[in-house]
Structure 1
Amino acid sequence: MTPVVLFRASRGRRQRGVVLLFCLIVLVILLIGGVAVMRSTHTSLASAGNLAFRRDLASQGEQAASNVLTAFKSGVLKTATLSAASIPSANYSAVELTANDQGIPLVLLSSSSSPSGTDFAGSTFSPTASDLAGATSDIAIRYVIDRLCRAAGTASTSTCVYAPSSSNVTGGSSQLPASQRPASTISPVYRLSVRVTGARSTQVFLQTSFTRPE
């Protein structure tokens, strides 16, 4: 009887060892899952924070649009004659500025306090207006305005991107009679490009195009 009892006790200890091994495996799996959930939570929180920060910078960048609107309504760009030539002090170029593949003028990508770039005609353009202040001291708003024309002077259908009047939008303009072609005085398209720089050199770029009756 004694050998049989010893045999059964040894078998029981072996079974308890297998259960312990499975428990350890399950604990490791749970630990890995917990770490993954924590990392996912931290990533989500970081993404939400970055999105909120980006939206805040974009909202502050609207100050540039307000300044430009004032300039075109009652300021240095209020008439077609005034906007026929570049005005560096207003960050305005009468000729389309060279841009990167995303359409952002290269002069706006410069980190220098005295940026300089070129326009489509190959001339140098150096905006001199100071950056706009953001809500906090670590936020700066820089912008440039360029007229989408290939030459300075009076806007024309041959040198500018323009918005024709509704009476002229009939298609096939090259085949239309002279009386139905766009008038010589047109409403050129202007482009406003804004760069908002925030904490840790974070940058947000905004861009819009607009026209005005002229």
Structure 2
Amino acid sequence: MTTVSFRIPRGRRQRGVVLLFCLIVLVILLIGGVAVMRSTHTSLASAGNLVFRRDLSSQGEQAASNVLTAFKSGVLKTAALSAASIPSANYSAVELTANDQGIPLVLLSSSSSPSGTDFTGATFSPTASDLAGATSDITIRYVIDRLCRAAGTATTSSCVYAPSSSNVTGGSSQLPASQRPASTISPVYRLSVRVTGVRSTQVFLQTSFTRPE
């Protein structure tokens, strides 16, 4: 009986191993390419969201302009006018109840007729219309509250206020009492703004300010 043996040339074996390594390298490169594409897509999406939120923040400045006008020549131009709440101007003379981030709860309501409570537990329902943004799908809603625990004349015992000339050192406080400026209470007001854009994206802005009274 004759036995026939076959031998695979060494060159063919080497070419088979090289082909296997090439396939492995191609798979690794393919996986790396997919990962890079996903990372790029995520970066572009994040950059787009950042630009969109910045645009909403810029549009929210309309509320600050409206409030400034109200305090300079509008319905809140005097201390007597700001001593009581004015729902039609979205103004509360008493500090509004807020969440842990300091945003008044009434501003978190998605209702067209929002309602919340103030420090005393009384209901506050702002009635001013939302401001229109640069496009029809952007709306701006805001509320102003005086950081006082009661309506009426602002007092140091019931309001957060800016220091008067008699509470600071240096400057005119070192003058004789007869030459110092009149000591007045300047309660702190808080402006909270919510800007809503497409896909229900929301940006909240907040600032505080004072006005001598």
Q: Same fold (TM over 0.5)?
A: yes
Secondary structure, aligned partner of 1:158: coil
- Equivalent in the alignment of 1:110: 109
The count of corresponding residues between Structure 1 and Structure 2 is 211
Calculate the aligned-residue CA RMSD, in Å.
3.5
User: Are residues 208 and 180 of structure 1, via their aligned partners in 2, closer, same or farther at CA, if it must alter by over 3 Å?
Assistant: farther
2:63 match = 64
Q: Distance in 2 between matches of 1:7 and 1:170?
A: 104
Cα distance change, pair 187–5 in 1 and its aligned pair in 2 (3 A): farther
Q: State the 1:170 CA deviation.
A: 4.8
Change in CA separation of 1:180 and 1:94 when aligned onto 2, cut-off 3 Å: farther
CA distance in 2, matches of 1:67, 1:78: 12
Gap change, CA 1:183 and 1:116, over 3 Å in 2: farther
Greater shift in the superposed pair: 61-70 or 175-184: 175-184
- TM-aligned CA deviation for residue 165 of structure 1: 2.1
C-alpha deviations, 1:28-51, integer Å up to 9, x for none?
111111111111111111111101
Q: Cα offset for 1:10? A: 2.5
Alignment TM-score, normalising by the size of structure 2: 0.90
Q: Deviations over 1:66-94 (max 9, x none)?
A: 00000000000000110000000000000
8 Å Cα contact 2:166-2:183 kept in structure 1: no
Instruction: Please state how far the C-alpha of 1:172 moved relative to its aligned partner.
Output: 18
Q: Is the 8 A contact 1:164 1:182 kept in 2?
A: no
Deviation at 1:168, TM superposition (A): 1.3
Query: d(CA) in 1 for partners of 2:98 and 2:171?
Result: 30
Cα displacement (A) at 1:110: 0.2
Relative to structure 1, is the Cα distance of residues 107 and 128 closer, same or farther in structure 2, using a 3 angstrom cutoff? Answer: same
Cα deviation code 1:144-202 (max 9, x no counterpart): 00000000000000000000124412599999999999987400000000000001111
User: How big is each residue's C-alpha offset from its partner over 1:53-74, in whole Å with a ceiling of 9 and x where there is no partner?
Assistant: 0011000000000000000000
Counterpart of 2:127 in structure 1 is 128
Distance 1:125 1:104 in 2: 15
| Unmatched tracts of structure 1, length 5 or more | none
Consecutive unaligned residues of structure 2, counting only runs of 5 or more, are none
